[in-house]
Amino acid sequence: MWRDNLRGIYYIILKDVRTYYLKPPSISWGIIFPTAWILAFYLKNPVGFEELIPGLIAMTILFSTTAAEAVVINFELRLGSLERLLLAPISLSSVLLGKVLGGAIFGLIMATVTTIGSVVGLGLSPNVPYLTLIIIPSSLAFSSFGALLCVSVREVFEAQTLLNLPRFIMIFLCGVIRPVSAMPTILQYLAYTMPLTYTVNGLQHSFSTASSTMVLIDALVLMGFFITFILPAIKLLSKKFE
Amino acid sequence: MGEKVVIQASNLTKFYGEILAVDHISFEVKRGEVFGFLGPNGAGKTTTIRMLTGLSKPTEGKASVLGFDISSEIVEARRHIGIVPEISNLYDELSAIDNLLFMAQLYGVPRSKRRKRAEELLKIFGLYEWKNSFFRTFSRGMKRALTIAAALIHNPELLFLDEPTAGLDVVAARSLRNLISNLRQQGITIFLTTHYLEEADLLCDRVAILVKGKILKIDSPKALKELTNSCSLEDAFIKITGLSPTVMAIEKERRI
């Protein structure tokens, strides 16, 4: 049984990456949008572009992983293609895991492109194992976050609208543009309830000389977010088919 | 034809909130037969298929498919069943052959056999010429044919067909009926829902007449016609259900 589930997950990832992710709109949304935002903030306040790089990578992961979840889940729900997957001899959680991992892998690819571009362009020297330790759980956390919001609605436009609100709140509160420590105390508390804060923190540590413990804590918290999002997403999807 | 029971439903019931969609139905489907579920819109035909294939949980009652309990072993059962839903729901962005290969992958068809089986089905369904064309470019009849081909990719023992010819033109519908007859000759058990009473008369060994979630009668089309002293299954259906010919005419219009 577990072999069937693993096979199902693998082929769903391959199909989704091929069918949806590696298409110009997904790529541009995942890379161009965060870059444009960061450039806009830099032009408004042109000091230390290097300091914005962790935020840029974090935004790339956030936008690329969540961008196509509405398509791979809501569009397929509407067309009935998701139902077809659920009729295959694999569990419902494997179907959703396949969808989430597809998004996470796309996020990983986009983050790698942005990171290499920034490192080469600005001559930065990050700690690669630390970066990996943060980017992988971040991709999983944001992809499962996208899945959770998408399974709670039916239409693609509803999902996109629902996704936009937390995306923009996180951009402003999670240290992408302005350090969390510079914000009022209440907003700092709020920031630490959001996964993007740990991504930005972890990435900042990867570009500095922080200890491995700090990076490890960020990575563990992000894995915690992944589990916190994926479990209710599975439950919600299974409720749709009761 | 063997007498082994492949579907056994007992008091199967489904409520959607306050609405009773399927009302304590019990029936059996034997190996190798074409079993038709007939009824007007909203009779509970699709809901029954959804319960039998695990897409919807019964509120009450139980059922087994190929000996597997639908509540606890449905994933096991799915290895041996093919399902053609009412809507042709393959992937628009994939070609005909890629759609079949993806289904073969999901159903665990061995790698060495996937392409051969997919091409064989494309030939059987007359789609080989369009094997590299995207699903979205297909006509409704071609989409239907490919959806059935996809359901057969893993050589299922039992095939669920939900309104297989709905929305098809006369020629496509006739060609599809011939395909269904061929599948029956290959020994595949078929559970079919349809609005088309002529179609049921032609294809089914036995039919269940379903109205408002309840089964009113189960028998062969011939026996139902004899029972009601009717010359067609449609007449028999009207006499059994008490639905007026006007309602049936409206149903027919909706189908067209």
Residue range A47-83, pLDDT digits in tens = 677 888 899 899 999 998 988 787 789 888 888 899 9
Q: Is A80 helix (H, G, I), strand (E, B) or coil?
A: coil
Contact list, A1 vs chain B (CB under 8 Å): 75
Question: Are the beta carbons of B107 and A88 separated by less than 8 Å?
Answer: yes
Question: Are the beta carbons of A90 and B55 separated by less than 8 Å?
Answer: no
Question: Are the beta carbons of B55 and A241 separated by less than 8 Å?
Answer: yes
Q: Grade residue A192 by pLDDT with cuts at 50, 70 and 90.
A: very high
Question: Are the beta carbons of A85 and B87 separated by less than 8 Å?
Answer: no
Question: Are the beta carbons of B102 and A15 separated by less than 8 Å?
Answer: yes
Question: Are the beta carbons of B105 and A89 separated by less than 8 Å?
Answer: no
Q: Is B83 on the interface with A (CB under 8 A)?
A: yes
Q: Rounded to whole angstroms, how far apart are CA atoms B228 and B211? A: 17
Predicted confidence (pLDDT) at residue B77 exceeds the cutoff of 70: yes
Beta bridge partners of residue B60, listed in sequence order: B13
Beta bridge partners of residue B134, listed in sequence order: B95
CB neighbour burial string for B39-72, b if at least 16 within 10 angstroms, e if fewer: bbeebbbbbbbbbbbbbbebeebebbbbebebee
Q: What's the mean per-residue pLDDT of chain A? A: 90
Among A7, A8, A86, select the one facing B55 at the smallest CB separation: A86
Predicted confidence (pLDDT) at residue B249 exceeds the cutoff of 60: no
Q: Is B92 on the interface with A (CB under 8 A)?
A: yes
Least confident of A122-136, A139-153, B169-183: B169-183
Q: Which residues of A, range 42-81, sit inside 8 Å of B by Cβ?
A: 79-81
Residue of higher predicted confidence among B208 and B176: B208
**Encoded tokens for B146:** 């490919």
In angstroms, the separation between the Cα of residue A65 and the nearest Cα of chain B is 20
Contact list, B53 vs chain A (CB under 8 Å): 87
Taking CA atoms, what residue in A is nearest to B51?
Answer: A242
Tell me the whole-structure pTM to 2 decimals: 0.88
In angstroms, the separation between the Cα of residue A139 and the nearest Cα of chain B is 25
Burial label, A87 (beta-carbon count in 10 A; 0-12, 13-18, 19+)? buried
Taking CA atoms, what residue in A is nearest to B54?
Answer: A87
Contact list, B102 vs chain A (CB under 8 Å): 11, 15
What pLDDT score does B2 carry? 45
Q: Report the interhelical angle of A53-67 vs A92-122 (nearest 10°).
A: 150
For A87-120, the pLDDT digits (tens) are 999 999 999 999 999 999 999 999 998 899 888 8
For B133-191, the pLDDT digits (tens) are 999 999 988 998 899 999 999 999 999 999 888 777 787 788 888 888 888 888 899 99
Closest by Cα among A19, A179, A196, A35 to A98 = A19
Question: Are the beta carbons of B89 and A83 separated by less than 8 Å?
Answer: yes
In angstroms, the separation between the Cα of residue A67 and the nearest Cα of chain B is 18
In angstroms, the separation between the Cα of residue A109 and the nearest Cα of chain B is 22
Beta bridge partners of residue B10, listed in sequence order: B62
Contact list, A12 vs chain B (CB under 8 Å): 106
Question: Are the beta carbons of A91 and B75 separated by less than 8 Å?
Answer: yes
ipTM of the complex: 0.86
